[in-house]
Amino acid sequence: MKKFIQLAVALIVAQQAPLALAQTESSWLAEPGMKLQWQMSPYSYHFSPSDDHKPVFMVGIEREHTSGKLDGLTYFSNSFGQDCVYIYPWGGVYKNILGVAPLSFKWTAGLLYGYKVPYENKVPLNYKGFSPGAIIALAYEFKPGWSAQINALGTAALMVQLNVPFN
């Protein structure tokens, strides 16, 4: 039940955050043509399943600039049931992969927090729960602004993700 409440709160915050930010005088959402999307993942496939693994879920928010730059923030429950955050100020999207208009390749890089004792060694270069993070993904836009995405989580897993635009 606790995980359900956390997910519900995270979805509500993710839905309302752009509205609050849009009402400020900052230029955070002011770039014409920029896309703001919320993300969610209901499932991850582990290459080496373990009895220690718990269900993984993720919610987040991502900005796609007209230049193809990506940045964002996600909250997730890792494979060991620990609450984690991934902040990625660096990323990019490349569209029309292999001549397929709705297919795109994405990459992100940033800071990961939350892998703590006894699972601190499950991510490289972890120091007191902080470690660098990087994700590559393939996305397919099946409806304008809506896309399904497969994320490669290092050599550990694949994550299925849905991206939905804020309107």
Rounded CA separation 149/30 (Å)? 26
Mean pLDDT of 71-100: 96
Mean pLDDT of 50-68: 94
Query: In this predicted structure, which of 4-8, 23-27, 60-64 has the lowest mean pLDDT?
Result: 23-27
On the question of pLDDT at 57 being above 80, the answer is yes
Ramachandran area for residue 31 (φ above 0: left; ψ -120 to 50: alpha; else beta): beta
Q: What pLDDT does residue 131 have?
A: 97
Nearest CA-CA partner of 56 in 78, 38, 86: 78
pLDDT class for 166, splitting at 50, 70, 90? confident
pTM, 2 dp: 0.82
**Mean of the per-residue pLDDT values for the chain?**
87
Nearest CA-CA partner of 133 in 78, 81, 93: 78
On the question of pLDDT at 92 being above 60, the answer is yes
Domain count, the chain: 1
Rounded CA separation 137/93 (Å)? 9
Structural domain of residue 34, as residue ranges? 2-165
The CATH number given to whatever domain includes residue 39 is 2.40.160.20
